Structure 1
Amino acid sequence: MYRLIRLLTRVSLGGALVAGSLLTGSTAHADTAPRVRVVLESFTAWALEESGHDEIYVTAQRGSKAQKLFPQSDSYLSVARYDCVSINGAPCPVGSRLRSFSAVNTPSYPADGQLLSVVLWDDDLAGDDALVSVPLWPHPISENEYHRERAFINGYHYELNFRLEPAWA
């Protein structure tokens, strides 16, 4: 009797493991998207590159092509120290000054492992400065990937938050 119960337990567990791994494997594979969409959530100016204000814009760059994510209609947005630019209600850190926006470009790119950079820029007459640059090598995903990058360089301090979403078109 003991041997029969042990044998049935092994068969049941083995069958459950095989069925579980088959279901999990096929579901995860079927849900991965061939593209990723870049969605800007927020950025915060903790310490500025210039005195008084910085003129900020955000791009996604792949190869020699750059697409502006924000702002959509203007060349740049003027930000002061402690400004947090929140897109579509994204949270801002305690101690920051909330500035809410809803219009933002959300381009999609092939998830083929080629370099894609999300860059926060300061618009300058002498040449634009990349304040935060996040290199990515996108691969097929089935869930959102969240990215937070902080830059502390030459006295300025910025935080950039965005996500990659699975995209099918």
Structure 2
Amino acid sequence: MQVKRVTSESIDDYLKAIYRLGGEQQRRVGSSELAERLEVAPASITNMLQKLAAERRPLIDYERGRGVRLSNAGRKRALEIVRHHRLIETFLFEVLGYPIEELHDEAERLEHFISEHFEARVAAKLGNPERDPHGHCIPAMDGSMPSSHLVSCNCSR
């Protein structure tokens, strides 16, 4: 019997989905809501949430029946992935001339694999943008959101 290894990309996708669904208010997200967002069976969601909650340094706060929210470590990682995604979209659009409708899928593939050094170089090349081409806030390298976030950035995507 082969045991399926949980990839860091899968973990990142879960953390990012919990962040987006829970918002800045960090509300608890239900398993069914998460299953719908990730297009995964509810049993698979429960399995992954139990694994993430059992980590030595838990990335989530999970109680069956009460939902899930990110721990401080999980929120930090989720915002790092959101930053990667949005910087990649901006780079693809502004530097490589990708059409806006192709940005998301391409960034989804690349967001897990860039180094912090590459991230810093891309951000500098782009002039440290606060928003991506869709108008969504780009978290700062320290995980904070730009001051304009409270007024005009849409961070639900």
Q: How would you bin the TM-score normalised by the shorter chain?
A: under 0.3
Higher Rg of the two aligned structures = 1
Comparing both structures, which one devotes a greater share of its residues to helix? Answer: 2
1 or 2, which has the higher strand percentage? 1
TM-score, normalised by the number of residues in structure 2:
0.23
